[in-house]
Structure 1
């Protein structure tokens, strides 16, 4: 017994013990809360899939895709800039407040142009896919609450993430997820319409956004005004990111665009339903966003440290997602049963959808790494590489059916993944320290 106690004492006295204990607690707490959040989101998604008629779910998929495009167009690098700038002053409440207020100010300006560009496109695609004029207007109006909340959500989250004050953030996310599930269950069951489902999701986000502001302002001074110097630094990033961000606003959801324009309403609903399965993968993405990205942003600009941390992160992501993709592929029949009879027989398509999501996530990890360092690939290079992939993919794959579009998506994502990975390595190698 004494030998065992001595061994335990020896382990506790090891220099790495406290570090491992801290990471173990952080990951387990974050994982547990995200299991709840993503589990509730998954249930909400399945509920909407089952309650909405196939034609309505096709419109729901289209509206949510356009909401994501609007959010991207209202950001164009602002959140990356706030993370990069905030990582330098995260211990100073006034300076961090100035960074946050500047970021929010720029977001509001960009949101106006986002609405001007995306709203007419969404309206046209809704009408093209069978929505009446009145229904299209209701759907467009219903996305406003969620869009309003999205303007500040991820900027406000940066503050507690930098301070690793994760618990209040997770508590707020859980309450929002519960609100979405309850409202969806009550409203969509009675009114199985697209605009009702979108409102049921957007209203809890607005309430959660109000609570999120209180969490962020514990560490950032809300009385600070937008700073011209910070704004100039952020705009430097925005101007470099803007062309590629505008381009990727439209190409990032290329599978939805292609299906909505050249495919059928059924195929559009199917690709949206299969995409819901990717919420299973969002657990790790959330852990990565909470714990890893803020720490990568805070790392010193030293070559050997960055290279080691980057390769460790990439290896972990690769192993984790490959294993999870294999498991989901083996259980594809059982998973499709959860979606309902309308989506049965799509085992191969589900596997393709999951592979595409994994490759896109891998590319996103590299992008998150170098963007939080303030490194930006020249937009012309990004656009040319992606455009070449898209154009060649259109000729290689049959984009008028679901299988072809999913294979096309994997092809394009793989090329972007390789580009982001190589760029990260090149930038790390270029550091002289």
Structure 2
């Protein structure tokens, strides 16, 4: 009997391994295509736009990321966590999504009111005319609202692991963006055109995802007070940190945009484009890992085992990327064009910053998927200590110095979130 039980256990492990291999191969292949299309779009924008216009484009994209974080405030993570508890019940999942969607719209207005004046100031600071500044801001709004909606619309399919339709939509949207860029950017090489094109295909994608989501969640449900209270309780714990990290997460760009030149701003944006390969593992993480981690039973041994396995694999992946970048910096810079040659040291630092920031983001997502929110009275002071310490130790008057500063800060966040997650898992009875 003991032998039989052991064989069943080994067969289950083998079956799980095969299932994960199939999922990773299937999803990875589709994601490679998506990343290839996105990378091509990014390089096309870098090579076509003049340096001044690309600097404005970098500013707009950075502000877009900040606006999305502010408008979300932890809502998407809380919806994922609550949806993970009722994902099999179409009515209850529909109530969770409808409530999150209603809250998200209100938060979005507040985000716009805060971000638009700041973006206008920075655009004017980098010699953009009033007309160009207004056009960049207006072009950002469609991308902002479609990105916000897309995050919530995908919760149902992601929880049910309906990966193929989601990835097909992403591939079509990426291909459409590439075609639009080729058609328009050679004629109108302006930053606002590139920003606007990024949001247009996503409108079509959101319509498709909403139709697909109907089989998993009932969108006719009304927002529920109890669900809203649960979401807001989580948001209240996390929003101070969200506001802080919406700034610190793009600290490199903000420092360069305020204290650096327009050329340096374009350079930091261009170097960041070469880190887009990391979007591959980021997409796999968000699509396959976070939803499954949210659905795991509250078993200390299993959660800790999965957590350590996951981050061990990420560490190996990031080290491989860094070694490859260090070995071939000139070849990678050639892709960006002659305007960005001679930035080998800065390229390696930029990729290191991206790896570290992604690791911190992954740890945050893992915690949020279980409704764990580190107290901002703990996280913000710890990060401020890291910022002040790095400012005392590092000269940030150069692009390399700013990158070293950001690497130091993001690495401290990795340590903080890793420690927090392990402590939360160990508290499980």
TM-score of the pair, normalised by structure 2: 0.96
2:129 is aligned with 1:132: yes
Which sits farther off after the overlay, 405-414 or 365-374? 365-374
Match for residue 89 of structure 1 among 76, 86, 91: 86
Which sits farther off after the overlay, 356-365 or 334-343? 356-365
Q: CA deviation at 1:49?
A: 0.1
Per the alignment, residue 61 of structure 1 pairs with: 58
In the TM superposition, 1:19-418 aligns within 5 A as: 19-418=16-415
Q: CA deviation at 1:251?
A: 1.8
Aligned partner of residue 190 in structure 1, secondary structure: coil
Structure-2 separation of matches of 1:197 and 1:240:
36
Structure-2 separation of matches of 1:329 and 1:82:
40
Per the alignment, residue 5 of structure 1 pairs with: none
Maintained 8 Å contact 1:183/1:201:
no
Q: CA deviation at 1:82?
A: 0.4
Structure-2 separation of matches of 1:106 and 1:97:
14
Which sits farther off after the overlay, 122-131 or 213-222? 213-222
Q: CA deviation at 1:296?
A: 0.4
Structure-2 separation of matches of 1:226 and 1:259:
42
Maintained 8 Å contact 1:37/1:177:
yes
TM-score of the pair, normalised by structure 1: 0.95
Q: CA deviation at 1:209?
A: 1.4
Structure-1 separation of matches of 2:408 and 2:15:
43
Q: CA deviation at 1:95?
A: 0.3
Question: Where in structure 1 are there 5+ consecutive unaligned residues?
Answer: 1-9
CA RMSD of aligned residues (A): 1.3
Aligned partner of residue 234 in structure 1, secondary structure: helix
Per the alignment, residue 7 of structure 1 pairs with: none
Maintained 8 Å contact 1:240/1:376:
yes
Structure-1 separation of matches of 2:334 and 2:296:
45
Q: 1:346-399 CA deviation, whole Å, 9 max, x = no partner?
A: 111000011111111222222111111111100111111122222332232222
Q: CA deviation at 1:345?
A: 0.6
Structure-1 separation of matches of 2:223 and 2:364:
27
Structure-1 separation of matches of 2:34 and 2:145:
21
Structure-2 separation of matches of 1:184 and 1:390:
39
Q: How many residues get paired? A: 422
Structure-1 separation of matches of 2:405 and 2:93:
42
Maintained 8 Å contact 1:157/1:216:
yes
Maintained 8 Å contact 2:249/2:357:
no
Aligned partner of residue 305 in structure 1, secondary structure: helix
Q: CA deviation at 1:227?
A: 0.7
